[in-house]
Amino acid sequence: MELYTKRYVITGGPGSGKSTLVEELEKAGFSCSAEISREMIKAEVAKGSDCLPWLDIACFSDKVIAEMSTAWSQHAGNSITFFDRGIPDVIAYLKLADLPVPQNYLSELSLHPYEKQVFILPPWKDIYVNDAERWQSFEEAEAIYRVIRATYTSLGFELLELPKDTASRRVEFITDYLK
């Protein structure tokens, strides 16, 4: 019998501090799963692949969904795990691209559920920077945030917006919530 694991998602648009927050949660002793999309982009670029979100988002999404499902399963037995993005994020990116959401994505979400409470980070221009995996403008990041927010809500999740504050204060917000 598997010990019940609470799996929480940390989400938001690009550059809102998700990865930094997840790193701080890990330092605080929590089980965490890093953002799969960023690692997938690095791997696909290194291979010279076209399976990238700006070239073939359907291919990229299929690979990310598979890796997210694997990551979900790897954290069985931990009392609490935080995920830097969840399956609904992939669904949101497809919606943003006006592409259909494959039925198997919704099936994967049913097979790999997260807690209904999702921590969402708002767009924050003061900390937003572009890098090799984050090519969007801040305005595009805001649009992505809106679609992510709408997607999680439409899938029945309760969004808990974190304040624009230091990573340690955001960790306090989350740990206070968990109490």
Backbone phi, psi, residue 7, to 5°: -115, 110
The DSSP annotation for 3-37 comes to PP-EEEEEEESTTSSHHHHHHHHHHTT-EEE--HH
pTM: 0.90
Query: Whole-angstrom Cα distance, residue 152 to residue 87?
Result: 10
Query: CATH top-level class for 6-178?
Result: alpha beta
Report the chain's C-alpha Rg in angstroms: 15
| pLDDT per residue as tens digits for the range 10-68 | 999 887 889 899 999 999 999 999 989 888 988 999 999 999 988 999 999 999 999 99
The DSSP annotation for 105-124 comes to HHHHHHHS---SEEEEEPP-
Specify the pLDDT at position 22: 95
| pLDDT per residue as tens digits for the range 56-103 | 999 999 999 999 999 998 887 778 999 999 999 999 999 999 999 999
Query: Whole-angstrom Cα distance, residue 166 to residue 179?
Result: 20
Query: Whole-angstrom Cα distance, residue 126 to residue 123?
Result: 9
Coil, helix or strand at residue 161: strand
User: Cα 79 to the chain's mean position, in Å?
Assistant: 19
User: Could you state, in order of their start, the residue ranges of all structural domains in the chain?
Assistant: 6-178
Specify the pLDDT at position 121: 95
* Whether the Cβ atoms of residue 31 and residue 142 lie closer than 8 Å to each other: no
Specify the pLDDT at position 179: 87
